[in-house]
């Protein structure tokens, strides 16, 4: 992997561990010579992951819609800032620039970006590893939900297993490097009776 897109909150959250792990992730990517691709903002976990990579000498590409730049949210120290017109163009550009995906804690925007990448993977539009940095159990409920989706017949086990979980940065990056996409049908078929 030469580049990883990180989806995360524009807030830092209540637990200081979220910001600390975002800084550490940015630094770890820089140390592995992996370009960070992210949403381009200077605030919250977004700013922290960028700062961590930049402080460690890494390359950081931000992708930001014009309307958010006008709100003075753009990070000024990036290697490159790509400006786009819409949120959809932002996701498309981040996908084009990345070889893998990591989700840090975040809100609806983070979930929307993550689920679009999962859906694209499920449909075979990409075969990128998708990692969840499960800081202090933030993604435990999503992990449980994905298991329930599988048990209830709405998600195949191979698609569920696209989500790679760890609360340790090095372990997550290793899982992503070793990821092998499964050969799977695009759709779940009903059981034969």
* Domain regions of the chain by residue span: 8-176
State the pLDDT confidence band at 69, using cuts at 50, 70 and 90: confident
pLDDT single digits (tens) 26-65: 999 999 999 999 999 999 999 999 999 999 999 999 999 9
Residues in the chain: 193
Mark out the alpha helices in the chain (DSSP H runs): 16-31, 44-55, 66-69, 87-97, 108-122, 140-151, 157-160, 169-178
Cβ atoms of 39 and 11 within 8 Å: the answer is: no
pLDDT single digits (tens) 145-159: 999 999 999 999 999
The H or E element spanning position 133 is strand 130-133
Output the pLDDT for position 192.
Answer: 41
What CATH class has 8-176?
alpha beta
Cβ atoms of 3 and 30 within 8 Å: the answer is: no
Cα dihedral 150/156/162/166 (nearest 10): 20
Task: Give 129's contacts (C-beta < 8 A, 6+ positions apart).
Answer: 1, 100, 101, 164, 175, 176, 177, 179
> What pTM was computed for the model?
0.92
pLDDT single digits (tens) 130-148: 999 999 999 999 999 999 9
The whole-number average pLDDT for the span 73-102 is 94
């Amino acid at each position: 992997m030469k580049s990883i897109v990180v989806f995360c909150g524009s807030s830092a959250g209540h637990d200081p561990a979220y910001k600390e792990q975002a800084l550490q992730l940015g630094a770890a990517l820089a140390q592995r010579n992996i370009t960070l691709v992210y949403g381009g903002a200077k605030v919250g976990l977004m700013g922290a992951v960028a700062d961590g990579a930049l402080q460690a000498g890494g390359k950081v590409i931000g992708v930001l819609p014009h309307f958010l730049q006008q709100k003075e949210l753009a990070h000024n120290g990036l290697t490159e800032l790509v400006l786009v017109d819409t949120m959809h163009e932002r996701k498309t550009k981040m996908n084009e620039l990345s070889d893998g995906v990591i989700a840090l804690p975040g809100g609806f925007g983070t979930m929307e970006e993550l689920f679009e990448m999962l859906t694209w993977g499920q449909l075979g539009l990409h075969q990128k590893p998708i990692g969840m940095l499960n800081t202090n159990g933030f993604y435990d409920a999503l992990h449980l939900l994905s298991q329930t989706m599988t048990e209830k017949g709405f998600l195949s086990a191979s698609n569920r297993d696209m989500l790679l979980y760890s609360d340790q940065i090095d372990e997550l990056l290793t899982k992503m490097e070793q990821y092998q996409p499964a050969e799977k049908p695009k759709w779940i078929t009903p059981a034969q009776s």
